[in-house]
Every structure is written in structure tokens, then in C-alpha cells.
Structure 1
Amino acid sequence: MGLHRVVEPAGVLPQAAWRLDASPEIAPNEVRIRVERLNLDAASFRQLWEKHGGDGDAVRAEVLQIVSTRGKMQNPVTGSGGMLIGTVEEAGRRSPLGLRAGQRVATLVSLTLTPLTILDGLARWDGRSEQVPCDGYAILFARSIAAVLPVDLDPQLSLAVLDVCGAPALTARVVSRYVAERERAEDPTPVRVAVIGGAGKSGSLSLAAARRAGAARTVGVVPVVAERDALAAVGLADVVALADARDPVALSSAVTTALGAPADVTVVCVDVPGCEHGAVLATEDGGTVVFFSMATSFAAAALGAEGLAADVTMLVGNGYVPGHAEFALGLLRSESGVRALFEARLAAD
């Protein structure tokens, strides 16, 4: 679990630690990765970008400062990090991950618990995108997760998908349970799914996953006209609605109007705070809200649901579902709309 890498405070797991030991020498059950690219999570990058007013040099300097100080990439404001791709340099003889030197891999665990050292000062990154070319090394523990990069996909595309692969897998699991329950009860009521932030990475994958799992009607909610047009053009949602997710009444109205009723399952994939109450209000009593945003305040979600007398189940998307990497990459390969949105995003970056 990496306890021996925790410098301070003593006794906590690496994710909760303030500082990790990122020295390159590995224990027998560790793996050292030569890093070639980081993917900062959306909430963390947005916070840094807004803090520095779009000054890429200042964003780069702060990321370097965080990593050098903490021995990992964990934004002290959002608490989130991201993930990385690189090449296996050395695998300890007792590592259970099945990796070997020379393999190109993506880590499927957060940078917030991954010992990391940057060697090149991020000289090739302009601080203006979530993907960060770099040279350095990272350490994986026995209970870490990594996926060998597929040879048929561009590594940057794979990195973008694998960064959010937990979202579509959990969405599919939740939606399929609703579908199965209604089939067993011979209930003809269609399963309705709303994805807040439907044009983003996790949002587009979640829309595709919901449809594949049997959702009868889906709505993707986006905040601006450009995203509405982009999502509508690729056909991943039955309806695309325009609403500010931070406005609870507007969000609830948009979802209910689009679906004809509140959603059975609402998936929150936005990277801004303040969307909890709207998501709860947009969800049918007895429904489920899945929070996949690192900007979520779970206190606000719980207290808001209580204050609204909303009988909803709220799930924290923890980023891991067995088979999540293969599932997400399969969606990318088979759903042209998903691939189009991802490639457009990478081109813009």
C-alpha cells in the first residue's frame, strides 16, 4: 500500500499524506515508471488556471512547486491529481502487477498517491492544457493499478480515456441494475438518465455507457451553446439541454423537460463546485446520483438532499470498477461520437 513511502504525517496512507518519499530505488514489490506525460484532472487544472488568470507560466511553476514539495501531484485546494503514462524502467521481483521493463503503461491510480519526481522542469509544457509532457519517474505499489497502452490508439488519446475510465463503468453498472429491476417487475417505465457535463470526457463516455446498459432516454446537460452543438452533432444523447449546473432550479427544469420526468440516474461529471443541489433536485425519488467530479462537496450533497427531503441514493465515483479500462477503451473504439469528442478536445489542447 506504500506506507513506507509516507514521510508525513506518520500512520496515514499515501493519498492522505502531505509528503511522500519519491526516491527512485524500488522495494521488491514496487515498479518504477519513466514518465512521459501527466494528465491533470479537470477540477485541479481549472482551479490552477483560474487562480493564475490563465498565465501558463504561473500554472507550470505551481505544478512544479507542488510536486517538489509533496513528492506527488496533489492540488492542495481540490485535493485531486490525475494520472500518467510512461515506460516501465524496473519491476521488483515480488511485484504482483505483472509488468516488465519496456512496457508502455498508463497508471490507473491517482497522482495524489503516486510518488513522483519531475526531472525536466516541465520545459515542454506551456501550462495551458491538462496533458503535461514531461520527463521524470514515478513509483507504483503492490496495490496500484496500471494498464498496458493499446497499440492501436494514440497514447494521448488513451491517456485521456483512461483518466476517466471509472465513470462509464460505474454508470453502466448502476443503469443496468435499474433496467434489470424493472424487467423483473415487468414495469414498462423507461429508465431515464441525465449526465451533467455530457460533452466532457467522463460525460461523453457515461452517456455512451448508459445507452449501452439499456437506458431508454438520456439527456446530456451542458453550460454553453458550443458544447450543446458539439454533443448534439455526435448523437450520444437523445436530448441535449443547456443549463448552468450551479443553478438548482434551472438544472432540474432542464432535465425534467428533456426527459419528461426527473432522472432515475443522474451522473455529475462537471469540474466546477456548486452542482450538488441541482443534481439532487433533478433526480426522481428512489433514484441515484453518481458524483464523478472532484469539485463535489459531499457535505453539501448530503445536507442538500436532507434539506430537500429527497429520497435519493448518492454514490461517490471512486474511479475503480473491475474491467473499467477495457470497457472505456471499448466505448472509444465502438462509439464514433465518443471518439470525435475526444479527438476534438485533444486538438484544441
Structure 2
Amino acid sequence: MIGTEVGLHRVLEPAGVLPQAALRLDPDPRIRPDEVRIRVERLNLDAASYRQLHTAHGGDPGAVRREVLRIIGERGKMHNPVTGSGGMLVGVVDEAGPDSPLGLKPGDRVATLVSLTLTPLAVDDGLARWDGRSEQIPASGHAILFARSIAAVLPDDLPVPLALSVMDVCGAPALTGRVVAGLRDPVVAVLGGAGKSGSLSLAAARRAGAARTIGLVPTQDEERRLAATGLADRVVRADARDPIAVAAALGEPADVTVVCVDVPGCEHGAILATAPGGTVVFFSMATSFSAAALGAEGLAADVTMLVGNGYVPGHAELALELFRDVQGVRSLFTARAGHDSAE
């Protein structure tokens, strides 16, 4: 039955909505025949959500931790009410119902490839091991996957935090590659090119046949780091929230513009950066649909705008393959992991 396979029975309020739109979910650990229970080891907040929480609480790590605990406790899921976003998790399969189609078995260490905004979740350790200073949260508790959830068994050759970082953004390079592969020698610009999803998107664009790649970053330090990787043919610097600065920095409009910036207000810059008939791919949870749609209309911009939904068949495998094969991607990820752990 459709209600069970998408988790409708877990919705506590309001009635009739799917789990992602619900205010509260039921994280009861008892599973139905087509569900899977995961023993949680680590949560990964999406970048937009963590940035908002960090900013709202003035960088106070204790306040950030308390707020995450409050959200999970009240909502039965990690669903930031301000950004509307969540993240993903890593854990070990505790129990798999006999009718689950996910192919998971007890003992499998997996990453969930569906958002925490629709995943029933409970924590039982008060997040005591998390210092509140990074997106990745050591945690103890349980989560529930539905029949139409997605999860991938973690690879043996990568540390769990690193694998989680890659799989957290695996939808971006997969969709970027699909869009680029359908065009002839396109110019591809990635806003936020030095970040996780940005670096993978640059690598995917080049592999899919981009004639030239451009990475836009906000700071001199990120400009230096991205240039050193060779992932982009050009690296330019501008605040992605400043449309005129973005267009001036690029100099030429791109056939495909991919937005991987985790702050709001980047829609108009991406539109100005894109050639008539081109495509903008929004891969930030900070994106405003109304700002994008009305901005394109107001600029008389004939562009196709895609919202990356985080799922493309084979997306996890592609992201891990790019991570393993492209040294520039690995260097940015490992540098970021070291920076996060040192904060």
C-alpha cells in the first residue's frame, strides 16, 4: 500500500501530508514489515542548516547542540524550521522487515541517501560527543527507513566521516553530469566551486564533456585552493549574492550554471551568469523558488531552471568514483575534513 511504503503511517500531524511536509513524525522503533531500523552512529547536517543554526546562536556550540536536540525531540526528525532542510545519517542496520525492498541486512553499515527532514529519528545520548562546531554529529539513537527510502552500504576503503561527506552531496555531480552530457561543448560555471558539491560538480562536468569549466568562489583563500586542484579551467572570485559582481567576474555567460552555495540570495547572480537558452541547476537548500522564478522573469532571461532533488540513479557510485579518481576532489575534501575537525 502506497501509504505504508512512503511512510504516511508515521505522520503525527498534520494528517494527510507526506513525512517531509509533516510537523511531527512518530519514531517508534517497532518496524512494519517493509521498514528498516537503523542504529544511528553519525548525523550530517546539510550546510545551509548548519550555517543558519551557527549564525542564529552567535556561534555558541552549546546553544547549537541544544537547538538540534530540541528540533529532533519535538519533531521526531531533524527538520530545521528556518531552512526547511535536514541532512543525512550513517548507522548500522538493526532490523530489516521481511518485505523491505532495500536489500539491507542486519550489520550493514549504511548512509541514508534521503533527507533527515522525512526520516523518523530519535537520539538517546543528548549528542554529548558533539562539540557543536561542525556539520557532522556523533550520535546514538535510531532511525526508520521506508520502502521508498534510499540507502547505500558504505565503502570499506574510506573513513566513515569522509564517505559520509561525499555521499551527502552525491546528487549534485550526478545531475550536473546528466545535464552537461546532453549538450555540445558547453561552458559550465559552478558557484561555490571549492565546496563539497561544487568540486564534485566541476569534476563531473569535465568528465561529461564540458568545453570549459569555471569555478566561482568568495575568498582569496578558496580561490587559491581551487586553482591548485586544476578542477576548473578558470577560477574567479565574487560574492555569489551580488549579481553584477558574479556576471562581471565570469565575463562570459555560461551554458550551464550550477549553484552550490549554502547561503540565500544567489538566484539572480546565477541567472545573470547564464547564456540565453542555457540551464541553471540549483543545488543549495538556501534557494528560493520565488526569487529564482520572478528574478528570471524580471530579467527577461530565457533559461531553464532545475532544482536538484538529490536523487539520480547511480548517484552515490558516481560521486565515490569521482572522489577516488580525481586528485583535486580528494584534496579539497580531505582539507575540509581536517579544517572541520580542528575547529
Give me the TM-score of the superposition, normalised by structure 1: 0.95
> Which residue pairs with 1:137 in the alignment?
142
CA distance in 1, matches of 2:224, 2:70: 39
> Which residue pairs with 2:238 in the alignment?
243
1:17-75 CA distance string (max 9 Å, x none): 00000010000000000010001000000000000111000000000000000000000
CA distance in 2, matches of 1:38, 1:236: 29
Question: Structure 1 residue aligned with 2:80, among 70, 75, 80?
Answer: 75
Question: Structure 1 residue aligned with 2:48, among 43, 47, 50?
Answer: 43
> 1:332 and 2:332 equivalent?
no
Indicate the SS of the match to 2:335: helix
> 1:198 and 2:189 equivalent?
no
> Any unmatched runs of 5+ in structure 1?
180-189
Task: Tell me by how many angstroms 1:224 deviates.
Answer: 0.6
Q: CA RMSD in A?
A: 0.5
Question: Structure 1 residue aligned with 2:9, among 1, 4, 17?
Answer: 4
1:74-126 CA distance string (max 9 Å, x none): 00000000000000000001000000000000000000000000110000001
Task: Tell me by how many angstroms 1:255 deviates.
Answer: 1.4
Task: Tell me by how many angstroms 1:191 deviates.
Answer: 1.2
Indicate the SS of the match to 1:84: strand
> Which residue pairs with 2:254 in the alignment?
263
Tell me which stretches of 4 or more aligned residues in structure 1 moved more than 3 Å. Answer: none
Q: Trace 1:197-236 onto structure 2 (pairs within 5 A).
A: 197-236=192-231
Indicate the SS of the match to 2:322: helix
Give the letter for the 2:328 counterpart: G
> Which residue pairs with 1:28 in the alignment?
33
> Which residue pairs with 2:131 in the alignment?
126
Indicate the SS of the match to 1:331: helix
CA distance in 1, matches of 2:244, 2:87: 32
> 1:96 and 2:91 equivalent?
no
> Which residue pairs with 1:275 in the alignment?
266
> Any unmatched runs of 5+ in structure 2?
1-5
> Which residue pairs with 1:315 in the alignment?
306
Task: Tell me by how many angstroms 1:272 deviates.
Answer: 0.4
> Which residue pairs with 1:111 in the alignment?
116
Give the letter for the 1:20 counterpart: L
Task: Tell me by how many angstroms 1:253 deviates.
Answer: 1.2
> Which residue pairs with 1:184 in the alignment?
none
CA distance in 2, matches of 1:27, 1:229: 52
Instruction: Give me the identity figure in percent.
Output: 75
1:292-325 CA distance string (max 9 Å, x none): 0000001000000000000000000000000000
Task: Tell me by how many angstroms 1:206 deviates.
Answer: 0.1
Give me the TM-score of the superposition, normalised by structure 2: 0.97
Indicate the SS of the match to 2:95: strand
Indicate the SS of the match to 2:79: coil
1:250-294 CA distance string (max 9 Å, x none): 0011112xxxx2000000000000000010000000000000000
Question: Structure 2 residue aligned with 1:345, among 333, 336, 339?
Answer: 336
> Which residue pairs with 1:183 in the alignment?
none
CA distance in 2, matches of 1:136, 1:199: 33
In the alignment of these two chains, the number of paired residues is 335
